[in-house]
């Protein structure tokens, strides 16, 4: 299920897993399987977020091609999400 899943679906599945585990009704075997799935999903989400961060860093380069730095780290800007899309 987690082979080629987008970030939003992975995050939603993580929320589902968290709800199931917090209910305390899952068997030990089921809980282990849910934990393993969550671990895989967390890794995939982290990879996707890291990729997005790198892409954004490239997009905020100066016109001359130099990356803007703040405290020896690439300068970032706040991202405001719009639900109107």
Q: Is pLDDT at 12 greater than 60 in this prediction? A: yes
Cα–Cα dist 78/11, whole Å: 21
| Per-residue model confidence as pLDDT tens digits over 21-75 | 999 999 999 999 999 999 999 999 999 999 888 887 777 765 556 666 777 776 6
Q: What pLDDT was estimated at residue 83?
A: 47
Structural domain total, the chain = 1
Task: Please tell me the pTM assigned to this model.
Answer: 0.65
- Domain membership flag for residue 48: yes
- Domain membership flag for residue 80: no
Show the domain range for 60.
Answer: 7-74
């Amino acid at each position: 299920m987690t082979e080629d899943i987008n970030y939003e679906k992975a995050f939603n599945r993580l929320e589902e897993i968290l709800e199931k585990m917090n209910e305390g009704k899952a068997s030990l075997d089921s809980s282990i399987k849910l934990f393993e799935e969550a671990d895989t999903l967390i890794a995939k989400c982290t990879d996707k977020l890291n990729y997005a961060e790198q892409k954004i860093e490239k997009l905020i380069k100066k016109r001359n091609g130099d990356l803007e730095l703040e405290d020896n780290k690439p300068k970032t800007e706040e991202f405001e999400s719009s639900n109107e899309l």
